[in-house]
Structure 1
Amino acid sequence: MNLSYNPNNKNSVIEYAKKLKGKSLREICDLDILEHSYSGKGNFGQVLEKYYFGYEPNSIADADFAEIGMELKSSPLKQLKNREYRAKERLVLNIINYFNVVKQDFENSDFIKKNASILLIFYLYKAGYNILDFKIKLVDEWNFSLTDLEIIKQDWETITKKIAEGKAHELSEGDTFYLGACTKGANSFSVRKQPFSKIPAKQRAYSFKQGYVNHIIATIASEPTEIYGKLIPSAGIAKKKTIEEVVISKFVPFYGKTENEILAILNFDLNKKAKSFYANLTKAILGISIDKEIEEFEKAEIIVKTVRLKENDLPKEDISFSNFKYEELVNEEWDDSEFKDILEHKFLFVFFQFENEKLVLRKVKFWNMPYLDLLEVEKVWLRTQQIVANGEIVKEIKINKNGEHIRFTNFPNKKFNSISHVRPHAKDSADTYPLPQKDLITNELHYTKHCFWLNNNYVRDEIYLK
């Protein structure tokens, strides 16, 4: 194939790529693209490589345009109601070679060799469309800012350290901030050997978290940046402190202080009855205006949970997550499930404790669920899926002294598992989701909304007190 660009010239490659903007592959490529035989999740990228850029898809260690050190990546977009674009998923990069990475330093790593400069092509995904008809919306080169690069370096070192400790099988995307180690393979059984343990580890690839991809998209699309406040304003600070260290250092001076005392010290006035009170208090402590989002938290997809502790250190409540949809739950696999994805995020727990009827800030802690605990939660998820799939949600219906019908479910409770359980999370009994099949007891095709919860004693013992 005669190339219509010079692969040895960066400007030529970028200009050629930008001709894709506003077009579909069907519109811009020769008719032989109709004969493509690529299939699978990454087939858009493979077709793009072969039929537009004119080279065979490969998995070599060097960047796709090795002569200019530029990697080609394509990724799907979704469009919001305000017409802005956001990432449909994380951006998967190169496979992690467990044996090679432990011998490398970041500056000379396979990761940097492959991804120091990336030519990004974002296309608008539409369900049911042929991949040849997806419209390409954004095209540009991406280079890391110096500050982001320092944080990504720390993430790379965290991943490498875990592999060097013989814990490649315990890697989790919640271990890091911007750069993740996501599972990569045809199925959950794709495993590899690791150098310092006999335990097989799932095949993983470096990836940019979806929040970080959103940052890239917003930058390329020239969206306004004033909606964000920064915790780490420079690469110099990023070299000295991690995001975790910066956040904790801002909270420590307020340990032992009541909410009112914190607000007085900060000279801040917040509505304590507002649902956003604790989120805004967190921003105030971090020095972020309450009308802005925390840039680093958005990029890292950090989930902030404020927990109120009783005097005996037990959280006043279990911790809830988003309601699951019954029809979606039965069609998921655990490794790709929404709940597992949430638990593999990084969390920031902010602990307040009741003391003389006032709430006092005790501590903050970054946390992601350990590998062995995830295996335990998987049992809860699988049992829940089985119950829904079999139409066995309701165990029995009893009539209380007021003549009301009370339903008891088969969903796993706290006795079933020490970490997680399932119970209602709805406005009332009429707040329901459809079922994939009728419940055997009620003969109904809808049931009250439920969600997964973290047990309060687990939060106390494994997060707060550790």
Structure 2
Amino acid sequence: MFDITSADSIIKFAKKLKGQTLRLACGEEIEKHGYKGKGNFGQILEKFYFGYEPNSDSEPDFKEAGIELKSTPLKTLKNGEYRSKERLVLNIINYLEVHQEDFENSSFWKKNAHLLLVFYLHDKDIEILDYLIKLVDAWQYPSEDLKIIKHDWESINQKIKDGKAHELSEGDTFYLGACTKGSTALKSYRNQPFNKAKAKQRAYSLKQGYVNHIIANIAQEETAVYGKIIERPEILEQVRTIEEIVILKFHPFYGKSAEQIEQELGLQLNQNAKSYFANLTNAILGLELGQKIEEFEKADIQVKTIRLKENNIPKEDISFPTFEYRELIETDWEDSDFKNILESKFFFVFYQFEGKNLILRKVKFWNMPYSDIIEAKNVWVEIVKTVSNGKIVKEVTKKGVRKTYFPKKTENRVSHVRPHAKNAADTHELPIADKLTGLTEYTKHCFWLNASYVKDEIYLK
């Protein structure tokens, strides 16, 4: 077994799990586990391998050694590398108490300062006891990450102190998020101390991008494709936030054309290439062309380059990835891809046309306000209803153009749905055949942010 007072002993015992399944590691006794629900892999692991009863104590799982055990699923990419299937959920945020804490003595830090991570390969086609455990190791936060995580924790706490626990969003922060925890039912809402409005129960979580960073470290994957904005942690002490560091790098180029910026940075880029603006952004940030921005990847930040017309309206609406119709109606709002996107943190780079030249106007970190997320939710509700009822096509014109019931730009201030496909034959399967046409597949569609919304609520604010 292991010594419960020794971190090294616990970690060494845990590492024996690598390459095994719960069934192999725990023996016949495990067949009687009886655990049901989303977190049962972790519960089985705790009881049948480490020998303690699963609990929701505020102390770490191995309190004598100060170690918290977490298990989380992996997926495999086509190149064989592992990636996190989801964010890593930590402890529940107690709105009524956390506002009295500071970071160093917080329940979050006491519980999560030293993590023992067990990553297993998720496979929906096999029993949970046969999931293969691929990576096992301890994790403590590097100093530059810890500074950002501390600032994230303080940002979450400040929102609770401001009576806005019900407006918390994962887009508020960088590496440490406040994710929803529990069903959409009223029973998962909680009182908050400085506002009578009930707040959805939330938990601290490490964002999926940050978990991928941990996985790459444990698996010792090549990280040369990443470039750091913050090479020296002490920079974070001179300048309060990562946002300020990034924005200051762009300031000297405000009012200059893309071509001028290229010249000043000694670049010769292909202006017709899809990667043109990404390369320009990298160069401004002091990174090599083609490198991923490590801090942005860890924080799941979505970088969007926007080209504005002379009237300040973006040349195009902003598209998101296409959705699968079947998945759309089988997923509730809280777990939907659309909500996850809307709760992301974005980094906008705004260029404006002056004749044929594109002038850098400003950059901005942004996440959607709570009230706008609720407004955009109406678009999601509408399309789920449309697809579920099999009432997609309203009419087919004489020219063969299909008019749909999907939410239009004129019907919602924030968002709309329209095609995002190579052509009409580029389709996804429908869960229910369309009643008017009998189609069982339909052209790929996605959610879009309205250009007018981007102008009014992001660029001009």
TM-score w.r.t. structure 2 length? 0.98
Alignment match, 2:236: 238
Does the 8 Å CA contact 1:398/1:407 hold for their aligned counterparts? Answer: yes
Distance (Å, rounded) in 1 between the aligned partners of 2:184 and 2:25: 33
Distance (Å, rounded) in 2 between the aligned partners of 1:326 and 1:125: 23
Alignment match, 1:17: 14
Distance (Å, rounded) in 2 between the aligned partners of 1:100 and 1:109: 10
Distance (Å, rounded) in 1 between the aligned partners of 2:80 and 2:435: 44
Alignment match, 2:442: 447
Alignment match, 1:461: 456
Matched letter for residue 72 of structure 1: L
Query: Out of 63, 66, 85, which is 1:66 matched to?
Result: 63
Query: Out of 106, 110, 113, which is 1:113 matched to?
Result: 110
Matched letter for residue 418 of structure 1: R
Alignment match, 2:429: 434
Distance (Å, rounded) in 2 between the aligned partners of 1:357 and 1:227: 33
The alpha carbon displacement at 1:440 in A equals 1.4
Distance (Å, rounded) in 2 between the aligned partners of 1:420 and 1:205: 28
- Describe the SS at the equivalent of 1:405: coil
Query: Out of 401, 406, 409, which is 1:406 matched to?
Result: 401
Distance (Å, rounded) in 1 between the aligned partners of 2:108 and 2:193: 19
Alignment match, 1:138: 135
The alpha carbon displacement at 1:370 in A equals 0.7
Alignment match, 1:174: 171
Alignment match, 2:37: 40
Matched letter for residue 217 of structure 2: T
Q: Per-residue CA shift, 1:86-105, capped at 9, x if unaligned?
A: 10110000011112111111
Matched letter for residue 459 of structure 1: V
Q: Per-residue CA shift, 1:207-255, capped at 9, x if unaligned?
A: 0000000000110111122221100112211233322111101111100
Matched letter for residue 340 of structure 1: K
Alignment match, 2:123: 126
The alpha carbon displacement at 1:188 in A equals 4.9
Matched letter for residue 329 of structure 2: V
RMSD: 1.0
Distance (Å, rounded) in 2 between the aligned partners of 1:186 and 1:321: 26
The alpha carbon displacement at 1:343 in A equals 1.1
Matched letter for residue 321 of structure 1: F
- Describe the SS at the equivalent of 2:448: strand
Distance (Å, rounded) in 2 between the aligned partners of 1:334 and 1:261: 45
Q: Does 2:279 correspond to 1:280?
A: yes
- Describe the SS at the equivalent of 2:64: helix
Q: Per-residue CA shift, 1:106-136, capped at 9, x if unaligned?
A: 1111111001101111111111221111111
TM-score w.r.t. structure 1 length? 0.97
- Describe the SS at the equivalent of 2:394: strand
How many corresponding residue pairs?
Answer: 459
Alignment match, 2:224: 226
Does the 8 Å CA contact 1:188/1:335 hold for their aligned counterparts? Answer: no
The alpha carbon displacement at 1:17 in A equals 0.6
Distance (Å, rounded) in 2 between the aligned partners of 1:65 and 1:52: 14
- Describe the SS at the equivalent of 1:451: strand
Matched letter for residue 214 of structure 2: I
Query: Out of 212, 222, 231, which is 2:210 matched to?
Result: 212
Q: Does 2:373 correspond to 1:378?
A: no
Distance (Å, rounded) in 2 between the aligned partners of 1:73 and 1:331: 28
Q: Per-residue CA shift, 1:400-452, capped at 9, x if unaligned?
A: xxxx2121111111221111111111111111111112111111111111111
Distance (Å, rounded) in 1 between the aligned partners of 2:184 and 2:119: 25
After alignment, is 31-40 or 295-304 more displaced? 31-40
The alpha carbon displacement at 1:177 in A equals 0.5
Which structure 2 residue ranges, 5 or more long, are not aligned? none
- Describe the SS at the equivalent of 2:213: helix
- Describe the SS at the equivalent of 2:73: strand
Alignment match, 2:296: 297
Alignment match, 1:163: 160
Alignment match, 1:322: 321
Distance (Å, rounded) in 1 between the aligned partners of 2:184 and 2:401: 42
Residues 187 and 55 (structure 1), Cα distance of their counterparts in 2 relative to 1, 3 Å cut:
farther
- Describe the SS at the equivalent of 2:353: strand
Which structure 1 residue ranges, 5 or more long, are not aligned? none
Does the 8 Å CA contact 1:62/1:113 hold for their aligned counterparts? Answer: yes
Identity of aligned residues (%): 61
- Describe the SS at the equivalent of 1:68: coil
Query: Out of 416, 420, 428, which is 2:415 matched to?
Result: 420
Distance (Å, rounded) in 2 between the aligned partners of 1:96 and 1:234: 31
Alignment match, 1:267: 266
Distance (Å, rounded) in 1 between the aligned partners of 2:347 and 2:290: 20
Distance (Å, rounded) in 2 between the aligned partners of 1:413 and 1:83: 40
